[in-house]
Amino acid sequence: MTASGVNQSTSQTPIKEKIQSILQQNRVVLFMKGTPQYPLCGFSARACAILDDLDVPFHGVNVLEDEALRAGIKEFGNWPTIPQLYVNQKLVGGSDIMTEMYQTGELQELVK
Amino acid sequence: MPPPLFSVTKPGMTLQQMKQRLRDFDPQAKIEVIDLTGTSNHWEVSMQSALFKGLSRIEQHKSVMACFDSELKTGEVHALSIKTQSL
């Protein structure tokens, strides 16, 4: 609970600000478990493999390192699972949607 | 209190409970539920529903995940792979 009542309504929680700045600074962001070099979950590994296959430079964010970020990102885009792909600050989806879009060619279009 | 290293999960949903949640969402839906690892917490759900008509892929997936909102939070459902199609 923030003590200051000055900008109570406009004050954003640090986590939301942190997420927004990550998204503003990186065109393609994958919130994942582990790192692109060492993914720590099958779905995160698949998401990395898809992006690698498309030769898309992306910024991997290891949510396991920050419990508040792990909960915050789920709330931020109203998506309860990890990994999550964001392109141009918009939620694309998890590894299932990435796989489907990869198969239809939509993902290639999106990240061009 | 340091954050837990991993979430303590309850025993996990049964196949029937998983299916019931989806029927609660749409009784007419065609559903298929698979326990991916036999540990009752890694599930694959395929669902064809008229309620998905006009919804984007991401909205369709969100509505399926909403059926397991609390279990996804507790980790009782650890992984949920989703395939949707509108009818």
Interface of A with B in 31-90 (CB under 8 A): 41-43, 67, 78-81
ipTM field: 0.78
Establish if B34 touches chain A: CB-CB under 8 angstroms.
no
Domain ranges of chain A: 2-111
Q: Buried (b) or exposed (e) across B68-86, using 16+ Cβ within 10 A?
A: beebbeebbbbbbbbbbee
Establish if A97 touches chain B: CB-CB under 8 angstroms.
yes
Would the CB atoms of B61 and A93 count as touching at under 8 Å? yes
Residue A63, classified by CB atoms within 10 Å of its CB into exposed (0-12), middle (13-18) or buried (19+), is buried
Would the CB atoms of A97 and B72 count as touching at under 8 Å? no
Residues of B in contact with A46 (CB under 8 A): none
Q: What is the mean pLDDT of residues A32-60?
A: 97
Domain B15-86: which CATH number of 3.30.300.90, 3.40.225.10, 3.40.50.360, 3.30.470.20:
3.30.300.90
pLDDT of residue A108: 97
Would the CB atoms of A96 and B73 count as touching at under 8 Å? no
Domain A2-111 CATH class label:
alpha beta
pTM more than 0.80: yes
Q: What is the mean pLDDT of residues A54-69?
A: 96
The region of weakest confidence among A6-10, A57-61, B57-61, B81-85 is A6-10
